[in-house]
Amino acid sequence: MLKIKNLHAAIEEREILKGVNLEIKPGEVHAIMGPNGAGKSTLSSVVAGKEEYEVTDGEILFEGENIIEDAPEERAHKGIF
């Protein structure tokens, strides 16, 4: 359903996500936990497609399709968030 592979993302040239991997299969529920500054909000923003973040490497696959280039509206239409 959702698979994140080696995701690297930055904002204002500062790398925040450094090789995140995650796979969520249909029917599963996951919680993202960690200390302040760990990248939890950045991860959700990148998956949602917020334009202020730059994906520098990796893939976000939703139902087998890479959505990195999709606009936030397209991602929402597909059922992400």
Residue 77 has pLDDT above 90, yes or no: yes
Assigned fold of 2-78: Rossmann fold (3.40.50)
Other Cβ atoms less than 10 A from the Cβ of 10: the count is 17
Give the separation between CA 22 and CA 3, rounded to whole angstroms. 6
Q: Which pLDDT does position 31 carry in this prediction?
A: 95
- pLDDT band for position 81 (cuts 50, 70, 90): confident
What pTM value is reported for the model?
A: 0.89
What is the tens place of the pLDDT at every residue in 11-66?
Answer: 999 999 999 999 999 999 999 999 999 999 999 999 999 999 999 999 999 999 99
3-state secondary structure 6-72: EEEEEECCEEEEEEEEEEECCCCCCCCCCCCCCCHHHHHHHHHCCCCCEEEEEEEEECCEECCCCCH
Q: Which pLDDT does position 53 carry in this prediction?
A: 96
Domain ranges (residues) in the chain: 2-78
